[in-house]
């Protein structure tokens, strides 16, 4: 680990020949993953990665250098190289002062205290539960991963933070077949916590859930096309708003004018039923942390309140450019990457309706229970999302499953067409990709209904 003295030396060296602001980011990460394919443990891998990066800012220009060697000579050399690239200016280094986190994510059972054999049993339990669902299950792929990172962040403004982050995750992908037709079901769980995540029978629950989805979709019919009411199931629908709206609320897109939300703070941009939050401080949630990757304390940010746009997600650089405080959204994949504005846990607050009321009041529509991948254009908000598990709604009841459906629309239009939100809030986990970096994120919402959305189908 890098101590305070070496951090100050590196920051001073970074500003020797120019630059206005310097930052040091150190990381040491230990990880392990296991994969079970059709009941056999196919792969066990261990990883240990460590390094540091120096970032120097002058005006709106950035120089960034990383090194996998963290001895004093290598670190000072990297700092001077970053400073030289930054050019003129010349800021000083304030005395470093350690910051205490406002929220601590406690780990009860560290992953390294559990041997690989015990972890493998979790995968086998999920696999057995999947196969117990019936003879249609022909393939099951179960994955486990854990990682623990020690992080030190220091900058020339005097910030010094230390944090340890532990994340664990389990995924289940199951294929079912009948009469030559194949369908896939998927489920996952993860958190900023230790092996305690897997208490209360979680692995069998995930395996059984993934298998049930695959088997159910074997009875699916081709999805119809057209505009209709779309009901998004709790949790899984959050990814639509994450992609279709969240990225447009990240400050780099706004700064470039590549966001449909640019210049609209204070305007009504969504239904009054929509309050959109980004919160990296939720205890033990997958996308959380005590600090972001620039040393800013994790916090709760209201992006849209009762349909009114309140603000954006800022890292230090874009906040500096805009003359506002950073919001704790500066994130990076590793020490090899510069921080950029990113979501943490992004969700729509629960409403007052019930899922049963929403379905019962829908005469004809589409129930999207599980979404798959999609594409979004942040500058316009236009999106296309696949649906891996969906159902027809007829006369206020969920009818037969539909396959091959896509949701097509615009983020602003969709948010304005939300007319019912239920109180059955749920979060789901994922890894968000942006600018070649992947970071853990959460997304969620209660069951909600969007009127007049286009469903693309395969029905002839």
The encoded tokens of residue 28 equal 């040491």
Instruction: Choose which CATH entry (3.40.50.300, 3.30.40.10, 3.30.2290.10, 3.30.470.20) describes domain 4-217.
Output: 3.30.2290.10
Q: Averaged in consecutive runs of 10 residues, what is the pLDDT profile of the chain (460 residues)? A: 93 90 98 96 94 94 95 96 80 91 96 96 97 97 98 97 98 97 96 95 97 97 96 91 92 95 97 98 98 98 98 97 97 98 97 98 97 85 94 97 95 96 96 96 97 89
Domain limits of the chain? 4-217, 221-456
E strand spans, 156-275: 159-178, 181-191, 221-222, 226-232
Handedness of CA 422, 428, 433, 439 (dihedral sign): positive
Residue 412 C-beta-side C-alpha neighbours within 13 Å: 18
H or E element in which residue 14 lies: helix 4-14
Question: CA-based angle 4:9:13, to the nearest 5?
Answer: 150
CA–CA distance, 351 with 358 (Å, rounded to integer): 11
Cβ atoms 205, 124 nearer than 8 A: no
Pick from 270, 241, 447: nearest CA to 353: 447
Distance CA 439, CA 434 (A): 9
- Return the pLDDT at 377: 87
Cβ atoms of residues 14 and 126 within 8 Å: no
What is the CB neighbour count within 10 angstroms for residue 92?
9
Q: What is the per-residue pLDDT for 32?
A: 98
For 25-42, the three-class secondary structure string (H helix, E strand, C coil) is: EEEEEEEEEEEEECCEEE
How far is the CA of 341 from the CAs of 206, 244, 251, 379, 445, in angstroms? Answer: 32, 16, 6, 16, 22
Please give the Cα distance from 247 to 268 (Å, whole number): 18
Say what the pLDDT of residue 199 is: 87
């Amino acid at each position: 680990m890098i101590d305070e003295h070496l951090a100050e030396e590196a920051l001073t060296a970074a500003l020797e020949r120019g630059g206005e602001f310097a930052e040091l980011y150190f990381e040491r990460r230990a990880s392990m993953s296991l994969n079970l394919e059709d009941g056999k443990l196919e792969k066990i891998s261990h990883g240990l990665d460590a390094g540091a990066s120096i970032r120097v800012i002058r005006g709106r220009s950035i120089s960034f250098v990383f090194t996998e060697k963290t001895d004093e000579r290598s670190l000072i050399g990297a700092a001077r190289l970053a400073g030289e690239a930054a050019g003129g200016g010349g800021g000083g280094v304030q005395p470093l002062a350690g910051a205490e986190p406002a929220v601590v994510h406690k780990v009860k059972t560290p992953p390294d205290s559990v041997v690989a054999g015990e972890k493998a049993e979790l995968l086998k339990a999920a696999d057995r539960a999947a196969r117990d669902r019936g003879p249609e299950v022909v393939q099951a792929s179960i994955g486990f991963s854990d990682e623990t990172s020690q992080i030190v962040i220091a900058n020339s403004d005097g910030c010094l933070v230390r944090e340890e982050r532990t994340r664990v995750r389990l995924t289940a992908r199951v294929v079912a077949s009948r009469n030559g037709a194949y369908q896939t079901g998927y489920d996952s769980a993860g958190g900023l916590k230790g092996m305690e995540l897997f208490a209360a029978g979680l692995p069998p629950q995930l395996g059984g859930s993934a298998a049930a989805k695959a088997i159910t979709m074997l009875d699916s019919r081709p999805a119809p096309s057209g505009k209709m009411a779309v009901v998004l199931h709790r949790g899984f629908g959050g990814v639509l708003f994450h992609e279709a709206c969240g990225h447009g609320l990240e400050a780099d897109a706004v700064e470039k004018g590549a966001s449909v939300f640019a210049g609209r703070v204070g305007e009504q941009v969504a239904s009054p039923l929509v309050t959109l939050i980004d919160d990296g401080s939720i205890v033990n949630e997958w996308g959380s942390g005590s600090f972001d990757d620039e040393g800013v304390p994790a916090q709760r940010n209201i992006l849209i309140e009762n349909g009114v746009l309140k603000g954006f997600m800022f890292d230090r650089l874009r906040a500096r450019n805009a003359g506002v405080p950073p919001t704790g959204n500066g994130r990076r994949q590793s020490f090899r990457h510069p921080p950029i504005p990113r979501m943490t846990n992004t969700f729509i607050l629960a409403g007052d309706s019930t899922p049963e009321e929403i379905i019962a009041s829908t005469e004809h529509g589409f129930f999207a229970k599980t979404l798959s991948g999609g594409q979004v254009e942040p500058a316009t908000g236009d999106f296309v999302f696949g649906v891996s598990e969906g159902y027809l709604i007829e006369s206020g009841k969920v009818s037969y499953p539909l396959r091959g459906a896509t949701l097509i629309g615009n983020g602003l239009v969709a948010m304005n067409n939300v007319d019912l939100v239920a109180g059955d809030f749920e979060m789901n986990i994922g890894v968000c990709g942006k600018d070649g970096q992947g970071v853990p994120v959460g997304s969620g919402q209660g069951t909600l209904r969007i009127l007049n959305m286009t469903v693309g189908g395969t029905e002839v």
